[in-house]
Amino acid sequence: MPDSPAQTPADILPAAFVAALREAAGDRAEAALAGCATAKQPSFRANTLKGKCGDLVRELREAGVPFTKHPLSDWSFTTTAEGEVLLKESVAYKEGRLYSQGLASQLPALVGPLREGDKVLDACAAPGGKAALLAMRLGEGGAGLTACDRAPGRYGILCHTLKLMGAAKARPLLCDMRTPPPQIADRSWDHILVDAPCTGTGTVRVEVRRTWEHLGIDYEAYVESRARIQLSLIERAASLLAPGGTLVYSTCSMDPRENEAVVEHLLHLRAPLEPVDLTSWSKRFGEAAAPGIATFRGTTYGDFTKSCLRLWPTAAHEGFFVAMVRRRK
Ligand SMILES: C[S@@+](CC[C@H](N)C(=O)[O-])C[C@H]1O[C@@H](n2cnc3c(N)ncnc32)[C@H](O)[C@@H]1O
């Protein structure tokens, strides 16, 4: 919460960030700022690579863990702060039969069609929460999934996550996705996730200074530098899609220059791509879900923004952006 009752989130957070958020969010801005000042309800998902969801539910009930099913997916649940402590002490947690994961953070790995036998690439995978969910959706120990990251320390965590979550047949790979190694650099991927490095403005928590103090140095330059990396990652990833393949792009940033602008660029650069509508997912999140932003600082984006999904931060989840495109056959 703010330091004193007189201070609002907008008084405390870096001014350039607040200004950009207000311009992007319009009449949702004050609610989004309030969402930055709220602790998130803890959530988790069952891991069916390691056991049946029904068995986990029974086990947690017997252990006295409070939890509620969430409509996001068959495997998604919310709990309380006390429940989260119990969960993290549970055998199921230690054995990887559940994964503590924000609701918004599950979404990019839930959208898009996955069939057994598909080749799936997670381009920016560490620490591995979404990769493990993709592996679970593929089944068979995550056979067909390749999960890449370029940061050696984070890559170690990714390997650990995949192992713990039973994704024994998934292939972790330490590489820079802007210059992918020959073993993955072909146009053969049925589904690609680019959960890009970003400014992280959707995860800002007013009372946790380290989540936003870096935004106060030079916000505009920071956004621009992230957008450059995002564009090169998404462009390279799109070049690897098989005909008919789908690419999901996501960030935990609220700034349109890291989101709608990046997807717009991609659609201009790569003609055989078409947007895929994700808005049907919004009803699983309620009022904080919205389509993409149409206009920001004088730039009007294309019609594709109507098919993107934005989650503004609330007490239930962080801020997120998700878009999907398909390569025409
Ligand atoms: C938002 S995080 C990914 C979180 C992850 N998808 C998850 O759900 O656990 C972005 C990741 O991209 C990685 N990254 C940044 N630049 C990259 C590049 N050029 N190639 C591959 N990975 C990169 C970072 O090391 C970081 O782990």
Q: Which residues contact 2 (CB under 8 A, 6 or more apart)?
A: 8, 9, 11, 12, 37, 206, 207
**Would you say residue 155 lies in a domain?**
no
Whether 114 and 252 map to the same domain: the answer is yes
CA of 148 to the centre of ligand 1 (A): 8
The token pair at 128 is: 């591995």
**Would you say residue 205 lies in a domain?**
yes
Q: Residues 72-84: what's their mean pLDDT? A: 97
Whether 211 and 306 map to the same domain: the answer is yes
CA of 101 to the centre of ligand 1 (A): 16
Which of the listed residues 99, 103, 124, 176 should we mutate to test ligand 1's pocket, taking the one with most ligand atoms within 8 A of CB? 124
Closest atom of ligand 1 to CA, residue 109: 8
**Would you say residue 143 lies in a domain?**
no
Q: Is the CB of residue 258 less than 8 Å from the CB of residue 226?
A: yes
Per-residue model confidence as pLDDT tens digits over 125-152: 999 999 999 999 999 999 999 999 999 9
What Cα–Cα distance (Å) separates residue 117 from each residue in 120, 135, 257, 307? 9, 11, 35, 28
Q: Express as a percent the part of the chain with pLDDT over 70.
A: 98
Model confidence at 1: pLDDT above 90: no
Query: Ligand 1 within 6 A of 97 CB?
Result: no
Residue 249 CA to residue 259 CA, distance in Å, equals 8
Per-residue model confidence as pLDDT tens digits over 253-268: 999 999 999 999 999 9
* Domain-ending residue, one of 66, 100, 134: 100
Whether 56 and 181 map to the same domain: the answer is no
Whether 108 and 70 map to the same domain: the answer is no
Assign 3-class secondary structure to 98-123.
EEECCHHHHHHHHCCCCCCCCCEEEC
Nearest CA to ligand 1 atom 6: 125
Residue 317 CA to residue 105 CA, distance in Å, equals 9
Per-residue model confidence as pLDDT tens digits over 146-181: 999 999 999 999 999 999 999 999 999 999 999 999
Helix 219-238 to helix 260-269 angle (10° resolution) is 40
CATH code (residue 263): 3.40.50.150
Q: Residues 104-123: what's their mean pLDDT? A: 96
Q: What is the pLDDT of residue 183?
A: 94
Per-residue model confidence as pLDDT tens digits over 192-231: 999 999 999 999 999 999 999 999 999 999 999 999 999 9
Query: Ligand 1 within 6 A of 165 CB?
Result: no
Range of the domain at 74: 43-100
**Would you say residue 49 lies in a domain?**
yes
Whether 86 and 181 map to the same domain: the answer is no
Whether 109 and 85 map to the same domain: the answer is no
Model confidence at 13: pLDDT above 60: yes
Per-residue model confidence as pLDDT tens digits over 289-299: 999 999 999 99
Query: Ligand 1 within 6 A of 226 CB?
Result: no
Exposed, middle or buried by CB within 10 Å (0-12, 13-18, 19+), for 90? Answer: middle
Q: What is the pLDDT of residue 116?
A: 87
Whether 71 and 184 map to the same domain: the answer is no
CA of 122 to the centre of ligand 1 (A): 9
Query: Ligand 1 within 6 A of 195 CB?
Result: yes
CA of 149 to the centre of ligand 1 (A): 6
Residue 177 CA to residue 234 CA, distance in Å, equals 9
Q: Express as a percent the part of the chain with pLDDT over 90.
A: 96
Average pLDDT, rounded, for the chain? 96
Query: Ligand 1 within 6 A of 174 CB?
Result: no
pTM greater than the 0.95 cutoff: yes
**Would you say residue 23 lies in a domain?**
no
Query: Ligand 1 within 6 A of 178 CB?
Result: yes
Whether 209 and 72 map to the same domain: the answer is no
Closest atom of ligand 1 to CA, residue 178: 19
What are the b/e assignments for 124-134, b being 16+ CB within 10 Å?
Answer: bbbbbbbbbbb
Model confidence at 66: pLDDT above 90: yes
Closest atom of ligand 1 to CA, residue 130: 8
Residue 271 CA to residue 153 CA, distance in Å, equals 37
Q: What is the pLDDT of residue 269?
A: 87
Q: Which residues contact 212 (CB under 8 A, 6 or more apart)?
A: 13, 14, 17, 201, 204, 205, 206
Closest atom of ligand 1 to CA, residue 176: 20
Q: What is the pLDDT of residue 178?
A: 97
Whether 119 and 252 map to the same domain: the answer is yes
Whether 50 and 120 map to the same domain: the answer is no
Whether 185 and 239 map to the same domain: the answer is yes
Per-residue model confidence as pLDDT tens digits over 85-102: 999 999 999 999 999 999
The token pair at 219 is: 């916000």
Model confidence at 304: pLDDT above 70: yes
CA of 172 to the centre of ligand 1 (A): 13
Query: Ligand 1 within 6 A of 65 CB?
Result: no
Nearest CA to ligand 1 atom 18: 176
CATH code (residue 84): 3.30.70.1170
Nearest CA to ligand 1 atom 2: 197
**Would you say residue 188 lies in a domain?**
yes
CA of 127 to the centre of ligand 1 (A): 8
Q: What is the pLDDT of residue 4?
A: 55
Q: What is the pLDDT of residue 271?
A: 72
* φ and ψ of 146, to 5 deg: -115, 130
**Would you say residue 112 lies in a domain?**
yes
Q: What is the pLDDT of residue 105?
A: 98
Query: Ligand 1 within 6 A of 177 CB?
Result: yes
Count of C-beta atoms within a 10 Å radius of residue 163: 15
Whether 72 and 107 map to the same domain: the answer is no
Query: Ligand 1 within 6 A of 107 CB?
Result: no
Domains in the chain, number: 2
Query: Ligand 1 within 6 A of 157 CB?
Result: no
Model confidence at 5: pLDDT above 80: no
**Would you say residue 13 lies in a domain?**
no
